[in-house]
Structure 1
Amino acid sequence: LMDRATPRWGGGRIGNIISDLKKTTEDFKETTQATMDAFAMFKPFMIDNEYLYRSDNVRALMSVIKEKERHLLPWYPEKLDWYDYWLNIHFPGMRKWVLPALEEELKMQERRSHTYRDLLDLFDTSTKRFATRVAMRIERSGRKEQYTFEDVRELTLRAAGFLAHNGVAPADRVILFSHNLPEWGIAYFGILKAGATAIPIDPASTVDEVINFATAGEASAILISPKLDAEYPELRERLKQSLGLKVPSVWTFDEAFEMPDDIEEAKRLALLPPKVLGNAVASLIFTSGTTGKPKAVMLSHKNFTNMISMLSSVLDMDLTDGVLSVLPMHHTFEFSAGFLTPFSNGTQITYLDELSSEELSHAIENGHVTGMVGVPALWEMLHRRIKTRLRERGDWIADIADNMIDLNAWIRDNTPFNLGPIVFFPIHQGMGGKMRYLISGGSALSEKVQKDLHGLGFTVLEGYGLTESSPVLTVARPGNKLLRGSVGKPLPGVEVKIDQPDDAGVGEVLARGQNVMLGYYNNEEATEAVLHDRWLRTGDLGRIDEDGNLYIVGRSKDVIIDSNGKNIYPDEIEELYSKSGYIKELSVVGLPDDDGGEKIAALVVPDYEHDIAASRSEVNKKIEEHFREISGGLAFFKRVKVMHVTPFELPRTATRKVKRPEIVEQLLKLEERDRKKTKAVVESKGDDNMLWIRKVVATVSNRPLSDVATDDKLADLGFDSLMFVELQAAIEDAGGRVLSPDTLNEVQTVRELLTAVQRVDKSKRLADEPKTDEKKEEDEIFIPSLVRRVGNAAVDFAQERLYTNVLDTKIDGQGNVPVHVNFIVAPNHASHIDTGLVKKALGKDVAEQTVAVAAADYWFDTKYKRAYMNNFTTLVPIERSGGLRQSLRHVTRILNEGYNALIFPSGTRSLTGEIDEFKPVIGYLALNQKIGILPIHLWGTFEAFPKGMTIPAKKSIGAKVGAQIGRFLSYEELRDMTAGVPNAEGYRLIAARVQHEVQNMRDGKRGEFDVPAVRKRWKAERRRTRKKEEVIGE
């Protein structure tokens, strides 16, 4: 649209000086006005009124007090030397005791940056102050375009005049419908200049959603990009059909930015309102979409200007910085942190004409990019690409790089130095060589990805907030040390507290500040539900540590948040998918995804009586076809990724509300069942192409090859829109080519994927090709679901009777069981009845989330034992031989999935009933999985049911048995205890510490665990034996 260069004679600099002087004058006027306001407030007390101070009432009260007691309440104002008091007592005391502490406190407080009156004040100041500097860049069809702040101002006024000329009045609402472009931000400011409110919507919205937004937001106009206008030619006609006389006008950016003649332009600008109020609504942000009445968050000018002031005080963006815009701009996180904040600081913003891995890499490597705002999925993709490139150079290079990443992470956490830009210079050069910040938000970032990027030398700042808070509430501060798991401290001016915290300090997160929304548009009931005395109820569960850092531990709302930070509302998805006669009812929930977000899952109850001529399998197929058809018409993030059918009614409360937590449990069990049934599908040796495409998929999804089957759905393997982009690049790297990018986005299974690609070069291998871990197993015994349910019930009943009626059972220390974290349970072991006793001690709810570990060579060595263990117990196998990581793969999986693991550290049952030495394996798991340990002492089980006994003897009846649960040993405590100790010795120390705790409970002692003494004893033993100690190594 415009492309101007800075005048050689330096015209822009004189303009900047004038703007700075004008701003200084305005600041002086504001300060003077504030002083005058304060004087006016106190003037009645100082000048206008002659107040008389009297003491007769107090004297009358004092006279009532007995003479001998008056000295206890001295009151002699006539004897007080006020001059002496103020000069020699009060002020010296203030200087000595109050002012130093106050100065220190003020030094520690973060200072807020200047807060603009409204967004138009921000716009005017920035476009004048940075007039000749580049504000926005984009490369379209090989042509580089750039817009200075002066260009942005001129185009904004042009758009505002166009809107006002065409009937858009102050307080009207205008939909902004576009991908990320420079024109998006210019159009937004144009809407505000016209005095209207902007309604930014997702560029992936369907026509039905646009119509619903226009209806709910009472929009008078729609500004649309030429690209979307071409994609939705039916939009105008559909609006007329749906809205009749109230149909909003639809204009493209080209129309809005068209240059009128000078006279016409002057007429249009005269229609613009002179100013807006700070509490006027700037944006209406819809938080739900197609059906019913969507909720729209009202965010005012003041909400945004306060947010910019808060973010600017933490992120020191300036004229030397550049931001790459990747997230959709209708997302408030990108809008505030990636658009308004850079714009207010003179930081240039780079946009991509198309979001692809090639465009992204090109912009980062060749553009001026020092910061990026993204959701976890973006950083997951970046992390995978870096790891793959390292693996391409050989396994030994990748292993060395992993060690260097860990080393630099430690250096950054413990010293002021960051060696990443030097050690990993090529990686930083690939990221442009100037990257200062990677800002993550929208959903939780994987701790592994955060740690690795930190170790590579990048500064990753994770934030937390909601659309209702404009949107940031807390953010990690720039610094060398990484606070794992924390979303940082509240922004300056934001108050965060925990409502009704439990014993662990966990409760609902409440927030208050000038960035909190005005409310929901035309929805007073919803507003009152979340806003109380200006406190915003976030619906998230969290805790705050002693340093003020917030940790989010869960969410009490039903909203599903995927790895891209998209909010998906279950009620809306249920309504979309339930419109089939073959479906009696369904429930939509979020299941944990491997990349840190959640995936949409549905549990469906079929109506088998809808068509009595159809068999059950045919009805199920009809439902699958219905889901496939509905998914084809939805944006990817709204599609159901996991679907299971059940013949049983959905669990409901007394008021007939579906119990979503129980739905989640059922779906997780069904997923685990299917995983066991379809795991390790062995491809034919002759079908080389299928094996090749499975390896590509396994590489991109970061899964073992055995977990990728021919008919697996790509959505079930965690594929999102960004991963499809990466998939195309991986196919080409592996010697293939995609026949059509459009076809690639439509495939649903691995088998369908093979039909959309062509293998060109069979000599190429994947750089990070997964190892095949498939072996033929004998035919397994299939247990029908009815038999399994009846059997499970029988086993549970028998165990309960054993510990309640047969044995005399005593449980102590149940208050030590952690509630909000998963953990390793570590008891001593002397009997087969130990497992059931531990689960009884933990309580029913915790026991259901606890999986016991058993020796594979004993409990899973035949198909009959496997059939029983897999269907009627929660035991998982562990190999007692072979590599450590391979042996513990099942245990690490269940820990990663959030379950507790019951492990007997001694490895096998005691032959004498005494506590055998605990093996270092629990130390290995604790440190590598970052998880705590719960010690438990079991007693009486050896006497009741010793090793070698197969059925209970007469002496077992009434035998006294018991479990005492010890103090929980958190990961942080174990990590600090082993800091600076070699890995192998650290694992052994943790095992010894846990055994020490169990022995203390056995002996009724509280002896401290002396780490130096234990290490000294071990060293002496090694010296005496002069034998190498057998250790567990990496």
Structure 2
Amino acid sequence: MREFSLPALYEVPADGNLTDIVHRNATQHPDVAVIGRKVGGSWQDVTARDFLAEVRAAAKGLIASGVQPGDRVGLMSRTRYEWTLLDFAIWSAGAVTVPVYETSSPEQIQWILGDSGAVACFVELDAHADAVASVRDRLPALKDVWQIEGGGLDRLRAEGEQVTDETVDERSAVAKADDPATIVYTSGTTGRPKGCVLTHRSFFAECGNVVERLRPLFRTGECSVLLFLPLAHVFGRLVQVAPMMAPIKLGHVPDIKNLTDELASFRPTLILGVPRVFEKVYNSARAKAQADGKGKIFDKAADTAIAYSRALDTPSGPSLGLKLKHKTFDKLVYSKLRAVLGGRGEYAISGGAPLGERLGHFFRGIGFTVLEGYGLTESCAATAFNPWDRQKIGTVGQPLPGSVIRIADDGEVLLHGEHLFAGYWNNEGATAEALADGWFHTGDIGTLDEDGYLAITGRKKELIVTAGGKNVAPAVIEDRIRAHALVAECMVVGDGRPFVGALVTLDEEFLGRWAADHGKASVAAADLRKDPELLATIQRAVDDGNAAVSKAESVRKFRVLPGQFTEESGHLTPSLKLKRNVVAKDFADEIEAIYRG
């Protein structure tokens, strides 16, 4: 199939903007808790009425400080209540939010704030304030910086005390649907990040249709979602705006190191995350079971869950014997895993990278269905996702209602719809290249099945062509290898080479567990990476990856690298995508070693 579309389920307001959501909630659901806010170690509800009041107070300060309609305002913070508050306050002042990753370097901060022409900026911590201060002399448009942790919001509210509600409401109505709501700078796997201009229409079309298609997951007064993704990433903004549109309760987690505890205390009904989160849940549970001497039981339970899920897709469904095994393991294993995820949820939405078919079946089999989706910054997050009632594991789902997906002659995925970005900020050339003939060219390679379900098979620019002329899409095999608990990252190499190889980094958490389980706890990490038994374990992970591809595409040799790819090392983007060109440059000697001799 070359093209597929679904009718829109949500009508974008002709002249509205995202501040309408906050006003509507305060009018129609004044006493409904739209936010769960962590205060003094416990969750406190913020009603729709109270949230509007706090948004207005912050917007008054922005107006009093001189922020004008259309001005850009930077926002650099971890995921927390104030991020959402300030996002809506910036919109209520008629301005445009410019997210900055809280891990950004001074050079990146200078580029984003300078390129966008930001007149003001919010920062969270002293380190963020210091980073902005270090480049402020190169940001002539930047007038005000407020620090969230330094009492900056109190001063902001005090500045706006003389501004009336009517003034804020007038300013809130200035922006129309096609005006910019935010400029989200792409992670920049190559070159400098480009600023994607997302309009209020983009978010209405995106979030409105997501909520309506997944309505059972967004029941007002019953459902809740815990946000732990960075809000500087477009997926995080989807997780923020969609619950507000529903509305359902939204909670924030600044530090994912505490995610398990926060899930247990907030108990969300819906989780939106990236595959690495769900891989960690599975790998941690399996490692704990092995440490407790229950590894075989866990593996049998996992196999049963996967078999049960696969059987759900057959006409006859699971057999009686499989149902009985599944029921037994539900008491022994599955219920405990669901408790780790909060105990109330039945669904999650995963995006940002491929989840993997086996993991998808595992989670559905334990009673926690992970609906995989696909999108880009330019598509305002999800442009395709699996519906709650018609999931196809192994695909990223059907198009967002109201949008169209087309497969070009060369296999590239093309998009059309109201959710798409308006263009790249100050970059007409890049905009014209990406939005050719009214279609956004994603750069991804994919296929559509007879029911309009999309499968992504690789990146157009990342295709490797071996010396033998074989085209290889790295993502397929990389995702399978990375699914192993010991593997942190995997990068396939082999462009112009006689065969396909791979660079592998080890997950430091599971490396320690593996060493302890194999009587090698005293062995130095550098020596472990050369250990024959460990290398044999990685080889089995590679063999599993090779099973997904043809012999010509399979990894023949690999190298285990010291350390891990991280954002700090410069090898991962803030959204945890590989900077392939940087890795290839920094580890050129390791790549050469794969092919030597």
User: TM-score per shorter chain, which class?
Assistant: 0.7 to 0.9
Residue of structure 2 in register with 1:354 after alignment: 255
Report deviation, 1:434: 1.4
Alignment of 1:750-765 (within 5 A): none
Are 2:407 and 1:498 aligned? yes
In structure 1, distance between residues paired with 2:134 and 2:273: 34
Report deviation, 1:385: 1.9
Mapped contact 2:121–2:142 kept (Cα < 8 A): no
Mapped contact 2:25–2:49 kept (Cα < 8 A): no
Give the paired residue count: 516
Residue of structure 2 in register with 1:266 after alignment: 164
| Alpha-carbon spacing, 1:711–1:367, altered in 2? closer, same or farther (3 Å) | closer
Residue of structure 1 in register with 2:455 after alignment: 551
Are 2:152 and 1:255 aligned? yes
Mapped contact 2:458–2:476 kept (Cα < 8 A): no
Alignment of 1:11-410 (within 5 A): 112-116=9-13, 117-225=16-124, 228=125, 230-243=126-139, 245-253=140-148, 254-258=151-155, 259-260=157-158, 264-266=162-164, 269=168, 272=171, 274-288=173-187, 294-316=193-215, 317-319=218-220, 320-336=222-238, 338-356=239-257, 359-391=258-290, 392-410=292-310
Alignment of 1:446-457 (within 5 A): 446-457=356-367
| Alpha-carbon spacing, 1:369–1:711, altered in 2? closer, same or farther (3 Å) | closer
Residue of structure 2 in register with 1:529 after alignment: 433
Mapped contact 1:176–1:222 kept (Cα < 8 A): yes
| Alpha-carbon spacing, 1:344–1:172, altered in 2? closer, same or farther (3 Å) | same
1:864-917: CA deviations, max 9, x gaps?
Answer: xxxxxxxxxxxxxxxxxxxxxx9x959935724845189xxxxxxxxxxxxxxx
Alignment of 1:631-780 (within 5 A): 662=495, 665=497, 669=501, 697=511, 699=513, 710=524, 712=526
In structure 1, distance between residues paired with 2:419 and 2:509: 48
Residue of structure 2 in register with 1:473 after alignment: 383
In structure 2, distance between residues paired with 1:266 and 1:774: 67
1:234-273: CA deviations, max 9, x gaps?
Answer: 3454233323x43342112343355449961428648835
| Alpha-carbon spacing, 1:709–1:187, altered in 2? closer, same or farther (3 Å) | same
SS at match of 1:542: strand
Residue of structure 1 in register with 2:556 after alignment: none
Mapped contact 1:372–1:437 kept (Cα < 8 A): yes
In structure 1, distance between residues paired with 2:540 and 2:79: 43
Identical aligned residues as a percent: 24
1:276-326: CA deviations, max 9, x gaps?
Answer: 211000010111469975310010000100111210122210120010111
Mapped contact 1:469–1:516 kept (Cα < 8 A): yes
Mapped contact 1:126–1:345 kept (Cα < 8 A): no
- Give, as a single letter, the amino acid of the residue that structure 2 aligns with 1:311: V
Residue of structure 1 in register with 2:546 after alignment: 895
In structure 1, distance between residues paired with 2:509 and 2:80: 37
| Alpha-carbon spacing, 1:555–1:255, altered in 2? closer, same or farther (3 Å) | same
Mapped contact 1:140–1:353 kept (Cα < 8 A): no
2:394 to 464, 485, 492: 485
SS at match of 1:246: coil
| Alpha-carbon spacing, 1:551–1:709, altered in 2? closer, same or farther (3 Å) | farther
| Alpha-carbon spacing, 1:236–1:286, altered in 2? closer, same or farther (3 Å) | closer
SS at match of 2:256: coil
- Give, as a single letter, the amino acid of the residue that structure 2 aligns with 1:252: Q
Mapped contact 1:132–1:150 kept (Cα < 8 A): yes
Report deviation, 1:532: 2.1
In structure 1, distance between residues paired with 2:446 and 2:104: 33
Q: CA RMSD in A?
A: 4.2
Report deviation, 1:492: 0.9
**Structure 2, unaligned runs of 5 or more:** 465-472, 554-597
Name the structure where strand makes up a greater proportion of residues. Answer: 2
Q: Which shows bigger deviation, 518-527 or 393-402?
A: 393-402
1:476-522: CA deviations, max 9, x gaps?
Answer: 1113x752321111111010111115xxxxx1111100001111111
Identify which of structures 1 and 2 has the higher relative contact order when contacts are C-alpha pairs closer than 8 Å and 6+ apart.
2
SS at match of 1:282: strand
1:208-239: CA deviations, max 9, x gaps?
Answer: 211111111111110112xx2x1144345423
SS at match of 2:63: helix
TM-score normalised by the chain length of structure 1: 0.45
1:633-678: CA deviations, max 9, x gaps?
Answer: xxxxxx99989xxxxxxxxxxxxxxxx9626x58954859xx9xxx
Residue of structure 1 in register with 2:586 after alignment: none
Report deviation, 1:192: 0.6
SS at match of 1:426: helix
SS at match of 1:373: strand
TM-score normalised by the chain length of structure 2: 0.76
SS at match of 1:557: helix
| Alpha-carbon spacing, 1:698–1:666, altered in 2? closer, same or farther (3 Å) | farther
Report deviation, 1:123: 2.3
**Structure 1, unaligned runs of 5 or more:** 1-107, 502-506, 561-588, 600-638, 644-659, 680-692, 714-748, 752-769, 776-885, 903-1034
| Alpha-carbon spacing, 1:891–1:168, altered in 2? closer, same or farther (3 Å) | closer
| Alpha-carbon spacing, 1:134–1:700, altered in 2? closer, same or farther (3 Å) | farther
| Alpha-carbon spacing, 1:590–1:209, altered in 2? closer, same or farther (3 Å) | farther
Mapped contact 1:178–1:184 kept (Cα < 8 A): yes
- Give, as a single letter, the amino acid of the residue that structure 2 aligns with 1:247: L
